[in-house]
Amino acid sequence: MEKRDVTVIMTSCTSSSPADISVFEDFLDIAKWRKIPCVVVNVTCSKSDNMELLSGSGRVSGPKTKLTDPKVLQKIKKSARLLDPRTDLVAVDKNDVELH
């Protein structure tokens, strides 16, 4: 397959859990294969904004399965933290990818 100059944008909320690290490793594999940099952007907002976004009509009635239960979100926020590729990927080979 011919590689073209493209930008790949993946929206995902990945935590530092082993399952999410595995998902992020897939993102790194794509970047390595395409020979493109991997730029990580973690966007955060206030608790009230987060709750408003969680129950928004587009999220609730959209075509994708999305988290909509505030209690589940609160539980996740108490027990998890966002993945930081600089510190959470110690066992992952990052030599072949430009990671920002």
pLDDT tens, position by position, for the chain (100 residues)?
565 677 777 777 888 888 888 888 888 888 888 888 888 888 888 888 888 888 877 777 767 777 888 888 888 888 888 888 878 776 555 566 777 6
Which pLDDT value is given to residue 16? 85
Contact between 85 and 40 under an 8 Å Cβ cutoff? The reply is yes
Which pLDDT value is given to residue 96? 67
31 CB-contact burial (10 Å; exposed 0-12 / middle 13-18 / buried 19+): buried
Which pLDDT value is given to residue 93? 59
Which pLDDT value is given to residue 2? 60
